[in-house]
Amino acid sequence: MRYALISDVHANLPALEAVLVALDARSDVDAVYHLGDLVGYAPWPDEVVALLRDRGIPGVAGNYDSTTATDYEHCGCRYEDPRQEELSHLSYGWTRDHTSVETKRWLGGLPFRIDLRPLGGHTAGPKLALVHGNPVLNTVYWTEDRSDDFCRKMAARLEAKPGDVVAFGHTHRPWHREVGGIQFLNTGSVGRPKDGDPRTGYATVAFEEGEVSVEIVRLEYDVARAAAGIRASELPDDFAGILERGGTPL
Ligand SMILES: [Fe+2]
């Protein structure tokens, strides 16, 4: 059983389309799940949600989804300087104003966490747990430099055991490591990478014959189309440059 995991699409329709085309071209992917943050920063929130709904792709709520759904006062995003704070508010305000009531209702219905049983659940087989940020809050960043102890604490919240996989996004930087026999996988970002690589990406997790294998994939997409869409909208042009640079600092 191989799962494809896509996270942090952030209303970037060209990036999502490229990932779905790539997944369609593979014959070894059995199911696709998203890990939240479907909207924000780019001009296609309704289109991204409609495409995922059309394709029947389930997933969990990111901080951007649950706050947009409820018209919460802030998106729960982190910022490091006053300009980033200003941009964060502009993106969130635009997204709240340009996301339909129907889309908000659907975003509001996304679960916080999904547990999958690749072997069907009738045996005590491995578990794949999906959350957006971490199992406690979807706003906390689970970065690669977190300690093994942090990973163990998060695993305990999910009742994860050796052989299980915990997958999450939110930081927009993919990474993977094993701690105590549990695989921890940050699936990166489809629509707003922050690791200096502007390509889109996804991850897969495969369970076969007692073995777990994890794969992080990056691929080109039409960044120019995404950037042009942002520049043609009332969103700040800064967001186009961030996509073109792969999120490197301004
Ligand atoms: Fe995000």
Planar angle of CA 118, 119, 124, nearest 5 degrees: 110
pLDDT in tens, 148-189: 999 999 999 999 999 999 999 999 999 999 999 999 999 999
CA 149 to ligand 1 center in whole angstroms: 24
CA 37 to ligand 1 center in whole angstroms: 5
- Check residue 75 and give its pLDDT: 85
How far is Cα 201 from Cα 209, in angstroms, rounded to an integer? 27
CA 194 to ligand 1 center in whole angstroms: 10
pLDDT in tens, 190-211: 999 999 999 999 999 999 877 9
CA 171 to ligand 1 center in whole angstroms: 7
pLDDT in tens, 85-125: 899 999 999 999 999 999 999 999 999 999 999 988 777 88
CA 207 to ligand 1 center in whole angstroms: 27
- Residue 7 scores a pLDDT above 50: yes
| CA nearest neighbour of 187 among 208, 206, 149, 214 | 214
Confidence bin at 250 (pLDDT 50/70/90): very low
CA 94 to ligand 1 center in whole angstroms: 16
- Check residue 122 and give its pLDDT: 79
Helix runs in 75-159, H state only:
82-98, 101-108, 148-157
**Cβ atoms of residues 53 and 110 within 8 Å:** no
- Residue bearing the bigger pLDDT, 143 or 121: 143
Q: What Å distances lie between residue 6 and 32, 91, 159, 234, CA to CA?
A: 8, 21, 23, 27
CA 237 to ligand 1 center in whole angstroms: 18
CA 210 to ligand 1 center in whole angstroms: 32
- Check residue 10 and give its pLDDT: 98
pLDDT in tens, 219-233: 999 999 999 999 999
Model pTM? 0.96
Confidence bin at 249 (pLDDT 50/70/90): low
pLDDT in tens, 39-48: 999 999 999 9
Burial track 28-67 (b if 16+ CB lie within 10 A, e otherwise): ebeebbbbbbbbbbbbbbbebbbbbeeeebbbbbbbbbbb
Phi-psi region of 136 (alpha: psi -120 to 50; beta: other; left: phi over 0): alpha
Q: Which residue has the tokens 């547990």?
A: 115
CA 222 to ligand 1 center in whole angstroms: 20
CA 119 to ligand 1 center in whole angstroms: 30
